[in-house]
Amino acid sequence: QWIETNQEEAEESLVDEHKTTPYHVLFSAAEPSGEVLEVLVDNFPYHILGWKDANGKLAMEYLMNNWTPENKTLLQRALQYWMLDPLVRWVATSLMESMQNKVQATLGEDDKERRSTLFHEAHSAFAKYETVAAASILEMALWKGKIEYGSSNNGVQRQTVDREGCRCVCGSIVVIPQVIQFLGFAGSDPTRHY
């Protein structure tokens, strides 16, 4: 309860009454600053770039509406930070090339409507991957916990551990759908085995 309350308070402190994040403010400016973007990138978690304001818009949508060479560079940096850097951290090389292509297609598009469509396609693909990554990380943690529990010293001797057996009985088939549903990932299916 304490962690949940503190997390909610921390997230509420990042937005105003219009659900506007610092990124929304920056990208809504007539001439957004690359230096300010770097300060925000250094001080705020990447996932707040995925938050919508009271108008239902992501911060980068404001930046794309004022399409200049400078804003294109800012969008490239923001997309790198938001969508590509996490894939590198997660060692998601299989998806990295696909996402890079989506980002480059978005940046290379001069037509406003088509650019918006490409951006939303990239956002949707990234959101789907985040769901899969969250489920995979949770499964690995449950599996590791089961292995460590099974191989712990019980005072007499170390128990033999069947790694694959631990994976099958780690509880992921029950836990993961409930956690994914609780986290509110869009499009999550609580009956699907992750």
Q: What is the DSSP string of 106-163?
A: HHH--SHHHHHHHHHHHHHHHHHHHHHHHHHHHHHHHHHHHHHHHTSB-SS-BPP--H
Categorize the per-residue pLDDT at 182 as very low, low, confident or very high, splitting at 50, 70 and 90.
low
Categorize the per-residue pLDDT at 4 as very low, low, confident or very high, splitting at 50, 70 and 90.
very low
What value does the mean pLDDT of the chain take?
Answer: 79
Cβ-contact 139, 94 below 8 angstroms: no
pTM: 0.68
CA-to-CA distance for 79 and 64, rounded, in angstroms?
A: 12
pLDDT of residue 23: 95
CA-to-CA distance for 66 and 28, rounded, in angstroms?
A: 9
Residue 130: CB atoms within 10 Å: 19
CA-to-CA distance for 125 and 80, rounded, in angstroms?
A: 15
* Whether the predicted pLDDT of 47 surpasses 80: yes
Of the chain, the percentage scoring pLDDT greater than 90 comes to 41
pLDDT of residue 155: 46
Q: Lowest mean pLDDT: which of 10-19, 34-43, 44-53, 102-111? A: 10-19
Quick one: 66 exposed, middle or buried, by C-beta within 10 A (0-12, 13-18, 19+)?
middle
User: What is the average pLDDT across 47-69?
Assistant: 92
Cβ-contact 32, 69 below 8 angstroms: no
